[in-house]
Structure 1
Amino acid sequence: MPLNACETLLLETSPVYTVKTWLRTKLVSSDSTSSPEFIQELLPSAERTALLYHLSYLCLGNFPKLERLLRERAVETQMLFGSSEALLMKCVGTSENLVKSLLPSLKVAAEKNKPEFALKFLEKAKGWINSIITDVKEIVKRYDKHNSDVATTTSDIITEKEETEKKQQQQTSEMEELQKIIDGLEENLGKISKEIEDYEKKIEVKNAEIHEFISSITDTKEEQTTQMPGVTPTMGSSVAIFAMIVPFVESVMGYISKMVMATSQESMVRSLCAGLSELTTAQQHLKEREWDIQNQLMDNQLKLAKLKIENGQLPSVTHLDEVQKCLSRIQQILIQLQKFWEKVGSLLDTLKERTFAGDVWIEELEDLKEEFLESITAAKEGWTKFGNSCKKANNIFSIQVNEAYKFLEINPSSLSKEEWQKEYESVKEKLQKIRPNAGNPAAITL
């Protein structure tokens, strides 16, 4: 994954560094968790998956063997989402523990000069995080196997479709016209995807600029601060401490913007954030256009499928292809979640090894204690946001598990033509209401 400067801040690991040297270290690393809300990107894919299964189920109602295969895959997905729901609730609990237990303990340890007290809670927090990492790894493996099973089912349906079409080769003019529309939409979709990739490269360049800026702020060496008017060693240390505790660069940039800076530095923050915001907004608009084209494509594919069903042909399996894409997207975000918690665990290890390795921590932090305490207070906001985001994602998966797969209780072949049409229109309307998660990239108020 390419370097993204609006990403998590990490620490050098050499144990010979003093606290002050450590606070001067360049802290920017690469991942996709610039905002606490990154986990909510799960939601559109989770919602879309059940609806796509529903459409596929309706289209296969007259093919009992394929209907049974699809039912099995849908039930497996439902169970997997149940495990995802439990994992996200665990993330909620761990975030709350960090806010209510770890951060207050670090604060007390600094106020009362008791590093051993903080060490106890750091070890406990590391245990929470290791447990989540293990769970995420296991679920990622299950998503990988399940997606492979869905692909096998898709292949089985394609084989059945080819055999059916040998028996029924007649194509109506209406089908041919719909196929032309579908081909045109697929071509447009490819062009939009290329534009989105181009913007991703531009965003990476802007991220590199932000990378350098944050590094210059957190580097408090005398020669550096001389070149950076308005940035004092204390300010750089405060930003570094905050960056260690809150692994979201969006939060770090917001923290920097609230501190007293020279006019030139305030202008730099505004310029960087505005530039990134402009690029991400443009990219988001492209993603929304892509989403609209996908919906148009789906609508025409459904119309073609309906005509083929009425003509005795087996429709295509494009909806199952989309299910695979949604499952893959969920899997990738869970991998991000795994890396995120691994990074947090690494931060805690560094904090434990370097800052609480004896009384030297207290001696060296004495002149930075006020900044340290302020950073802990500010850190609670970022972790609270992350916990709330996990809670929202958990609620969506809960709905998916308990409500979204009830369509499996009805045999689609038992529906009348009017009932089938009503069901089809209802699912299509729900799909069109789902939008890609916009998040809040670089939305920093100055």
Structure 2
Amino acid sequence: MANSKELVQLSEWSPAFVEELLPVSKQVSLLFHISYLCLAKFPNLERLLRKRAVETQMLFGSSETLLLKCVGTGQNLVSSLFPMLIVAIEKNKPCLAIRYLEKSRTWVHDIIADVEMMMQSYTEHNNNVATTTSDIITEKSDTEKKTVQLSQEDQAMNETIKKLDEELAKVEKELEENAKMINAKSQELQSHIKDVTRKNSGLCLLMSVVPFIGAITKSIYDVTIGPGAAEKTISLQTQVDQLISEKSNLKQKQWDIHGKKIGYHLKSAKLQIDLGAIPSPVHLKEVQRYLSKILQILIQLKKLWGKVESMLETMKQKTFVNEDLIEDPDFKDQFVNSIQYASQIWSDFGGSCIKCAQMFKIQSKDAYAFLEIDPSSLSDDVWEKEYDSVMAQLQEIKVFEGGPIAIQE
């Protein structure tokens, strides 16, 4: 559950939160590749794994489609809704704005339904991977009866893995403490921002169309607000940024330890295979972990669009139902400025979704090419080269550096 809390903080701060999917999608395919190599001499289990890998490949293709739909919905807000809201304000036509707000809510409602369907698909797929993992463990216990004991070299590697587990536990404890500090400080910052925006109609309008607190924070620097408010904002933001930097370093350290563990597990797997035993499906368990991370990001994506749907309704009720507000020239200027700023933020969100969609496209088409080769046909030298290649790619992966969670409540 610690991971889900962490993602909650990430998703609402920046429109780039979906980019967490970039390293995760790579990790999943590479871990499947490793698992496939480990089951080279066990055809029944290899077929099971192939089936799950193909399911993942297809699911990634559907994920690309979903992200492109998110891009399209965001573009509709920028190119259709926002310009019409400006026209409605400038020409004092609240009915026009209400009509477009209602139309936009249908777009958002549709994307929420699509995200829910994808969440269900990932949940079912992760359960299938868990079942396959269990099947491998069952058959492994049968083969181990034929092996009296593993080599001393393998036992030594297991001891090293235990030490890495201890080191990993320390890092994860530090991450947990860091997360608590980020939560506390970001809540303080969020409370301050809400207080500032209540006293500034322009910022208040901006919060009606931008669901990312981090973007609101940046805009505070560019407006005239009360004495000390900007200074306090900068101070709190600096403290949050420092904590985020610490978090990024810890996350990278955590991944580096995972990478070392994967290497030792794979060497251990090779020894177990040579002894006629099925290796532990630890890499499939890692696949489950990263599939769960994708699911958590989808949950946050649904939460984001749910927030947008609510914000559109609030804007309709608080802005365009009351026609007196539209008569105020200052209000018009502030509204137009807010919409223009919001357009840029939503464009940034679309850009992040496009990056992830492109990655899922690559993953669904190219990353599972290893399934075309029978792993049992590989010579020891080729197997080693394949192993070295996968490990090098895993070690090159850098974790996503994101901000704290702060979707407006």
Q: Tell me the TM-score normalized by structure 2.
A: 0.94
Say whether residues 1:417 and 2:380 are aligned partners: yes
Aligned residue number for residue 228 of structure 1: none
Say whether residues 1:79 and 2:51 are aligned partners: no
CA contact (8 A) 2:12 2:404 kept: no
Match of 1:270 among 234, 243, 252: 234
Instruction: State how many pairs are aligned.
Output: 401
Letter in 2 for 1:386: F
Aligned residue number for residue 21 of structure 1: none
Task: State the Cα distance separating 1:441 from its structure 2 match.
Answer: 5.6
Task: State the Cα distance separating 1:144 from its structure 2 match.
Answer: 0.7
Task: State the Cα distance separating 1:262 from its structure 2 match.
Answer: 5.7
Match of 1:362 among 326, 333, 342: 326
Residues 354/262 of structure 1: CA separation in 2 closer, same or farther (3 Å cut): closer
User: Aligned runs of 1:278-317 on 2, under 5 Å?
Assistant: 278-317=242-281
Aligned residue number for residue 197 of structure 1: 176
Aligned residue number for residue 48 of structure 2: 69
CA contact (8 A) 2:325 2:331 kept: no
For 1:439 and 1:359, the matched residues in 2 are separated by 40
Task: State the Cα distance separating 1:366 from its structure 2 match.
Answer: 4.5
Residues 207/421 of structure 1: CA separation in 2 closer, same or farther (3 Å cut): same
Alignment partner of 2:224: what SS?
coil
Higher mean C-alpha displacement, 337-346 vs 162-171: 162-171
Residues 389/108 of structure 1: CA separation in 2 closer, same or farther (3 Å cut): same
Residues 265/352 of structure 1: CA separation in 2 closer, same or farther (3 Å cut): closer
Say whether residues 1:404 and 2:385 are aligned partners: no
Aligned residue number for residue 132 of structure 2: 153
Match of 2:146 among 150, 161, 167: 167
Task: State the Cα distance separating 1:263 from its structure 2 match.
Answer: 5.9
Higher mean C-alpha displacement, 373-382 vs 154-163: 373-382
Match of 1:114 among 93, 117, 124: 93
Letter in 1 for 2:363: Q
For 1:219 and 1:118, the matched residues in 2 are separated by 23
Match of 1:436 among 399, 403, 409: 399
Aligned residue number for residue 253 of structure 1: 217
Alignment partner of 1:267: what SS?
helix
For 2:21 and 2:12, the matched residues in 1 are separated by 13
Say whether residues 1:177 and 2:161 are aligned partners: no
Match of 1:93 among 56, 67, 72: 72
Aligned residue number for residue 198 of structure 2: 219
Letter in 2 for 1:145: E
Task: State the Cα distance separating 1:395 from its structure 2 match.
Answer: 0.4
Identity of aligned residues (%): 47
For 1:320 and 1:438, the matched residues in 2 are separated by 25
Letter in 2 for 1:85: E
Match of 2:16 among 21, 37, 47: 37
For 2:364 and 2:11, the matched residues in 1 are separated by 27
For 2:160 and 2:303, the matched residues in 1 are separated by 42
Match of 1:395 among 358, 363, 366: 358
Letter in 2 for 1:147: N
User: Aligned runs of 1:342-381 on 2, under 5 Å?
Assistant: 342-357=306-321, 359-363=323-327, 365-381=328-344
Aligned residue number for residue 300 of structure 2: 336
For 1:127 and 1:361, the matched residues in 2 are separated by 26
Letter in 2 for 1:384: S
Aligned residue number for residue 186 of structure 1: 165
CA contact (8 A) 2:49 2:132 kept: yes
For 1:298 and 1:82, the matched residues in 2 are separated by 27
Letter in 2 for 1:400: Q
Higher mean C-alpha displacement, 327-336 vs 169-178: 169-178
1:368-400 CA-partner distances (Å, limit 9, x unpaired): 111111111111111010000000000000001
Alignment partner of 2:301: what SS?
helix
User: Cα RMSD over matched residues?
Assistant: 1.9
CA contact (8 A) 2:193 2:233 kept: no
For 1:126 and 1:407, the matched residues in 2 are separated by 43
For 2:16 and 2:148, the matched residues in 1 are separated by 50
Higher relative contact order (CA 8 A, sep 6+): 2
Q: Tell me the TM-score normalized by structure 1.
A: 0.87
Structure 1: gaps spanning 5 or more residues? 9-29, 221-235
CA contact (8 A) 2:190 2:213 kept: no
